[in-house]
Structure formats: C-alpha cells, structure tokens
Amino acid sequence: MASTMRNGIWVLLMAVLVLGGCGRKEAPQIIHDAQPPRLVGLQHELSGMVLKLGFELVGNPEGVGFQIDRAEMDSYCKCPGLWRRYLEQLPSPQNIGVPITKILKLRTPNVEYVFRVRAVDMTGQLGPWGKIIHATGVDLFDQ
C-alpha cells in the first residue's frame, strides 16, 4: 500500500512538471533586426467634411504600408472612444519615400473624431503611431 501511494505521488509530481513546464508561456515572437518603419512629415488639412492627410513612409526596402485608426471623442470625458481600423494599405516597395495623400470623409458634422497613423513593413513590424489628429466636420452648406 505504501508502494502504491509513493507511485501515485510520483505520477502526480511528473504530471505537474509536464503540464506546468518552465519557460515562456506565449507564442513565439519575431525578432526584428532592422529599424521599425516610420512616417515622415505627417500633415493634415480639414475642409468641411473632409480630412486630407499627407506623409511619407520609410523603412524596409521590401515594402512598407500604413494603418489609419479612427475614434470618436467622448463629449463627457473628452477622451477617445474605441479605436477602429479606418484604412489599411498593405506593404509595398512602391510606397517607400514617395508622398502619400489620403482623403478621409468625416461621417457626421459637429462630431469630433481623432485619427492616428502608423507604418507597417513587410515582416509585420509596426512603427510608432504618429501624432493624434483631431477633426470636427462642418457642413459647409448649412452656414
């Protein structure tokens, strides 16, 4: 009986070691040796219900793209609501070092939106977000 009890404890300890294991408990991470992609010269211009963004992308010569997220400003706390992907351009070598202009339509007049833009390269490496851009649409025909 003592032998059976020792075997049971031994099996329990082995199960804890096998199932608990040691080391990292997350998916493998890609290690990037190159500099992260980035935006250069981010500018914006608001006209009525349209926001015009301009920038250039630099980074991996194999290709760089960009992501634009948008959120509505909460009028109570004066903070951004839920960020959502508004536009995404896949990485391409043709995007590097050329001026990029994007025209974004604001849905509702008199609602403050915030936008953020970042670069992403062919390997999935993300650049830092650019400055947050605030835009409130104005119905030019209702003046």
Give pLDDT tens digits for 110-122.
Answer: 889 999 999 999 9
pLDDT for position 65: 96
pLDDT for position 29: 57
CATH dotted code for 38-136: 2.60.40.10
Segment 30-38 shows an average pLDDT of 74
pLDDT for position 35: 84
Band of pLDDT at residue 143, cut at 50, 70 and 90: low
Query: Mean pLDDT for the chain?
Result: 85
Q: If DSSP states are collapsed to H, E and C, what string results for 7-49? A: HHHHHHHHHHHHHHCCCCCCCCCCCCCCCCCEEEEEEEEEECC
CA distance 48 to 143: 11
pLDDT for position 115: 96
Asked if pLDDT for residue 11 goes beyond 70, the answer is yes
Q: 59-110: per-residue pLDDT in tens?
A: 999 999 999 999 998 888 888 889 999 999 999 999 999 999 999 998 888 8
Segment 114-138 shows an average pLDDT of 94
Asked if pLDDT for residue 7 goes beyond 80, the answer is no
To which residue do tokens 């390269």 refer? 121
Domain residue ranges of the chain, discontinuous segments joined by +: 38-136
